[in-house]
Amino acid sequence: MSWLTAWLDRVLYPGYGSNWDDNLFRERVLDRLTGGSVVLDLGAGAGIVPQMNFRGHAKHVVGVDLDERVLENPYLDEGCVADVGDIPFAKESFDLVFADNVMEHLDQPSDVFREVARVLKPGGMLLFKTPNRIHYMPMIARLTPHSFHRAINRVRGRDGDDTFPTRYYANSMKQVRRLALDTGFKVERIDRVEGRPEYLRGTVPSYLAGAGYERIVNATELFAPLRILLIAELRKN
């Protein structure tokens, strides 16, 4: 990070730190947890995002992922190698399921939502954070090859092995509401959030352009559909 970027961070976004979006999502999950909750981290992976560590805040934290590194994930009480569309737990096993930047990678999100509904207890919650498909960053992602995404994430400090293909089939307000209706969920809350333009902080001109965009889309709810994040809270019927 250049000194100019650091200066712009302090001037334009003094309340923001690294992984500000994950910190925001963490607070949403904590609001729904109790000490007796049995929790499933959907697509838990290797445990590279410390904000997704809820051990000690819940009775039992389970994670599922196709990546075998989930077995060594330090944020879990129990890791399981499995497809999120075929969760190997009995029905009504969990009080809460959460997914951080997972929904954009699903080929068949309706199958995953139904499986989550199956393993949730009645009244249980599904919480997830995912990019909004009509924001400029996902639109660029849909027009560029996966190798480009891996290169960008390596520049941002993320291992290329933790960059996965994106689909964006559960990544708009309309898509989420339809999926909820079709799979036995009630939408309790969907927020659209725009914050510091993380992917544009590489140069001063791009940073300023991203900050200008952020100011515009946060100026009125009319532009809310153009914000970067969807944070959804769904309750099983």
Q: What domains, with CATH codes, occur in the chain?
A: 3-236 (3.40.50.150)
d(CA 115, CA 88): 10
Question: What pLDDT is recorded for position 151?
Answer: 56
Rounded to whole angstroms, what are the CA distances from 63 to 71, 96, 109, 135, 227? 9, 12, 18, 29, 29
- State both tokens at 11: 């001037």
User: Contact, 125 vs 33, CB < 8 A?
Assistant: no
Nearest Cα neighbor of 232 from 183, 175, 182 is 175
| Residue 189 DSSP SS3 | strand
Phi, psi of 120 (to 5 degrees): -80, 145
Q: Residues 6 or more apart from 222 whose CB is under 8 A from it?
A: none
d(CA 231, CA 237): 19
Q: What is the pLDDT of residues 145-173, one digit of tens each?
A: 656 555 555 555 555 555 668 999 999 99
Question: What pLDDT is recorded for position 131?
Answer: 97
- State both tokens at 120: 């949730």
Nearest Cα neighbor of 73 from 96, 40, 103 is 40
Q: What is the pTM of this model?
A: 0.90
> Dihedral of the CA atoms 119, 232, 171, 20 (nearest 10)?
-120
Q: What is the pLDDT of residues 27-37, one digit of tens each?
A: 999 999 999 99
Name the stretches of the chain with pLDDT < 50: none
Question: What pLDDT is recorded for position 28?
Answer: 98
Question: What pLDDT is recorded for position 143?
Answer: 81
Question: What pLDDT is recorded for position 57?
Answer: 97
